[in-house]
């Protein structure tokens, strides 16, 4: 696939999403601490698209589809770029005809925030199912603007080389400021019965270091809920590995 990636002036990100992924063995303790009871606010099925060798992930690229099983959130597909290559994303990419484009910080625990560009568009759940089940070409899932972005930033990988990794069941809770003095979002994902619980909140980037310290102190130091540096994307891709599409690796 041709690409014309060029250097551009970085766009400062105003918001940062601070995330705290929980070590699998501490999932039950964290769920009890945060009162994660059923039903969750939203229930989804998630797919990622990558090669068996995770070539897109190695480039900082993430292709994701989400279908809402229960709740009011729309079905959508996202193209995301994380890391140093975001510096080549020009400000014109934040103005899109379809969907929403964002430039934000992505921060795990108290680590330095990484720049993250994303473009999300709504898609019918039947279209997502058709692509995930091999009944439609993957590129048809993305808008023309998203495909244009991938033409520039997806290097040495074609759509034909990508396979769906999913569906991953995901439950989402929107938490009021109860046990912790800020609203939080909790997402619980499972692949082959292995859980990943992530606690997150989006704040002004200037306030992210202080908020991260408070969150780490509350979860880790005060309540013994250990931090896992893995991201949700990496969690899914690692466990699907080189297995056949639709079948999680054991």
pLDDT of residue 178: 84
Q: Is residue 172 within 8 Å of 42, Cβ to Cβ? A: yes
The correct answer on CATH 2.40.320.10 for the domain covering 18-240 is yes
pLDDT at 43: 98
Least confident of 96-110, 171-185, 228-242: 228-242
| Model pLDDT for residues 44-53, shown as the tens digit of each residue | 999 999 999 9
- How confident is residue 240, by pLDDT bands cut at 50, 70 and 90? confident
pLDDT recorded at residue 11: 54
Higher pLDDT residue, 212 or 3? 212
CA distances from 93 to 8, 64, 82 (A): 11, 19, 15
Q: What is the pLDDT of residue 250?
A: 27
The arithmetic mean of pLDDT across residues 22-33, rounded, is 98
- Whether the predicted pLDDT of 245 surpasses 60: no
Greater confidence (9 vs 196) lies with 196
Q: What is the pLDDT of residue 243?
A: 43
Distance CA 74, CA 66 (A): 8
Give 241's pLDDT tier (boundaries 50, 70, 90): confident
Question: Residues 36-41: what's their mean pLDDT?
Answer: 95
Looking at residue 5, what is its pLDDT? Answer: 57
Residue 53: both structure tokens together: 């060798």
What pLDDT is stored for residue 244 in this prediction?
36
- What percentage of the chain carries pLDDT values higher than 90? 88
Beta bridge partners of 21: 198
Site of tokens 């989006």 = 202
Residue 242 pLDDT exceeds 70: no
- Average of per-residue pLDDT values in the chain: 92
Q: What is the pLDDT of residues 225-236, one digit of tens each?
A: 999 999 999 999
What mean pLDDT comes out for the span 207-221? 98
Which has the minimum average pLDDT: 174-178, 191-195, 244-248?
A: 244-248
Q: Which of 204, 206, 226, 222 is closest to 214 using CA atoms?
A: 222
CB 56 within 8 A of CB 81: no
Give yes or no for residue 2 having a pLDDT over 70: no
């Amino acid at each position: 696939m041709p690409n014309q990636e060029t250097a551009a002036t970085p766009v400062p990100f105003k918001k940062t999403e601070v995330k705290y992924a929980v070590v699998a063995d501490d999932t039950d303790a964290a769920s009890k601490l945060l009162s994660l009871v059923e039903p969750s606010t939203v229930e989804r099925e998630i797919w990622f698209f990558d090669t068996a060798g995770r070539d897109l992930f190695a480039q900082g690229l993430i292709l994701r589809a989400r279908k809402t099983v229960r709740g009011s959130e729309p079905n959508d597909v996202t193209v995301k770029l994380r890391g140093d290559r975001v510096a080549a994303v020009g400000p014109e990419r934040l103005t899109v005809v379809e969907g929403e484009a964002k430039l934000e910080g992505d921060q795990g625990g108290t680590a330095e925030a990484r720049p993250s560009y994303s473009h999300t568009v709504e898609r019918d759940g039947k279209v997502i199912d058709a692509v995930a089940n091999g009944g439609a070409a993957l590129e048809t899932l993305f808008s023309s603007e998203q495909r244009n972005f991938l033409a520039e930033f997806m290097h040495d990988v074609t759509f034909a080389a990508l396979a769906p990794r999913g569906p991953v069941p995901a439950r989402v809770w929107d938490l009021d400021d109860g046990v912790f003095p800020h609203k939080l979002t909790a997402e619980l994902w499972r692949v082959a019965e292995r859980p990943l619980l992530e606690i997150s909140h989006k704040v002004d980037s200037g306030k992210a270091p202080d908020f991260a310290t408070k969150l780490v102190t509350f979860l880790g130091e005060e309540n013994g809920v250990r931090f896992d540096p893995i991201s949700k994307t990496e969690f899914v891709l690692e466990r699907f590995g080189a297995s056949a599409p639709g079948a999680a690796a054991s």
